A = this chain, B = another copy of it.
Amino acid sequence: MAEISSDVIRGYNDTIILYLLLDGPSYGYEISKRIRTGAEEKYIIKETTLYSAFTRMEKNGYIESFTDEVMSGGKKRTYYRITDSGREYYKAKCEEWQLTKEVIEKFIVKQGEV
């Protein structure tokens, strides 16, 4: 049974997270679950990957964080909100994806005999 390529996802984890933040602010644990269900269990993001993506994207100005007052699960939730710059980045990534896909598919054989 084929697995997702984490080397492809590599370039798109940030994009996936930003997509989910378009609906409004969210936090690690929830994003993680929404990725899993959104991908129909075919892709489960690793916690470390997810949280390091948050740190990186905040540094780059694509998202902003704010902390919940209430404790949830023994920790304070850190929420993230997408910025305008994040929206632009997301858009650019979507365009890039179309191009990248086209290129790769010139070298991929669908179902045919190899």
Interface string of A33-67 (1 = CB under 8 A from B): 00000110011000000000000000000000000
Determine the distance from Cα of A99 to Cα of B100 in the docked complex, in whole angstroms.
16
Contact B99 A15 (CB under 8 A): no
Tell me the interface secondary structure of chain A in the complex.
helix
Query: Given A39-B106, A103-B43, A114-B22, A10 and B12 touching (CB < 8 A)?
Result: no
Query: Given A16-B104, A98-B110, A108-B19, A11 and B5 touching (CB < 8 A)?
Result: yes
Can you list 27 A-B contacts (CB < 8 A)? A2-B95, A3-B96, A4-B103, A5-B11, A5-B96, A5-B97, A7-B7, A7-B10, A7-B11, A7-B12, A9-B100, A9-B103, A10-B10, A15-B107, A15-B108, A16-B107, A19-B107, A22-B114, A39-B106, A42-B99, A87-B114, A90-B114, A91-B114, A94-B110, A97-B104, A98-B110, A101-B101
